[in-house]
Amino acid sequence: MIPAHNEEVTVAGVVRGHRDAARALASSFELIVCDDGSTDGTWAELQRSCAEVAELRLLRNPSREGIPLTMKRLYAEARGEWIYFTPGDGQVPAAALEPMWGIRDGAALVVGRRVPRRDPASRVVIAQLYSGLLRRIFRLPVHDIDSVKLYRAEELRSAPPRSESNFSEAEILITLCSRRRVVREIDIPHRPRIAGIAEGVTPAGAFLAMRDVAAFTVRWLLRRDR
C-alpha cells in the first residue's frame, strides 16, 4: 500500500523498488497506490509505471483526502494475507521490507523503527513526544508509532479505527496490543527526503488528533475499569 501526494519525482522509483523487493519475498502480491489528489505529475508517473509493473493497481482521490482516509481506502482494497504500507516519498527504502517480512511469523503486526530518522529536528522531536506519550499511557512495545507497518490482514480488519485523524494508525496498534496480540518492532533504514515538501501536522490536524486521542483514552479506560 502506497499513499502518494505530489510525489512525481519519487513515486515511480518507489513502485519499482517495492516490486523488486516483493518478487524476492513472495510468489504473488499486488502493489496498490492511491494518488491523494496530487496537483503535479504524480498520476501521470503512476500510469506510466503500469506498463512495467504488472502487479500495480491504481486508485485516485479526485481531491485531497489526507493520509487517514487514504489509508482506510487502501486497506479496504487490499486482498492479501499480509498488508504492508510505505509512503510514496522514498524515505523508507524498499529494502526495509525484507527484515520486517523475516520476523512476521506469529505476529499480528511488525513495525519498522526508522534508525536514524532523517527528518528535520523539529519533526523528530514532535514525533518522539507523541510516541513517548502514547507509549506511557498504553504501555506500548513500539517506539516509532507512525512508521511503516506490516499487518496480518485478518488482524488489521478486526481493529478498524474510529479516528479520522492521524491518530488512526496508533489506534490500530493500541487495540492490537490491548488484545495481547504479538507486535514486533525492528530497525529499518531511513533516508532524507530528496524532493517534494514534507507536510507536517497542521494546527487543525493536531487538534483533531488530540481530540481523537482524548476520546479513545476515555473509552479505553472505561473498558479497563469494567
User: What is the per-residue pLDDT across 19-31, written as a single tens digit (0 to 9) for each?
Assistant: 999 999 999 999 9
pLDDT above 80 for 143: yes
CA distance 179 to 65: 30
CATH at 136:
3.90.550.10
Q: Which residue, among 100, 109, 101, 120, has the nearest Cα to 142 in the 3D structure?
A: 109
User: Tell me: the pLDDT tens digits for 164-185?
Assistant: 898 999 999 999 999 999 999 9
| CB proximity list for 204: less than 8 A, separation 6 or greater | none
pLDDT tens sequence across 50-84: 999 999 999 999 999 999 999 999 999 999 999 99
The label of the residue with cell 499513499 reads 3
Instruction: For cell 514486533, name the residue.
Output: 184
Grid cell, residue 126, equals 514532535
Expressed as residue numbers, the domain containing 133 is 2-225
At residue 10, the pLDDT reads 96
Give the number of domains in the chain: 1
Q: Residue 84 burial (CB < 10 Å; 0-12/13-18/19+)? A: buried
DSSP, collapsed to helix, strand or coil, labels residue 85 as: strand
Mean pLDDT of 87-108: 96
CA dihedral for 166, 172, 177, 181, sign (positive or negative) = negative
Rounded Cα distance, 40 and 220, in Å? 42
Q: Residue 199 has what pLDDT?
A: 62
With contact defined as beta carbons under 8 Å apart, do 120 and 198 qualify?
Answer: yes
pTM for the model stands at 0.91
Question: What is the rounded distance in angstroms from the CA atom of residue 48 to the CA atom of residue 44?
Answer: 6
Q: How far apart are CA 212 and CA 206, in angstroms?
A: 10
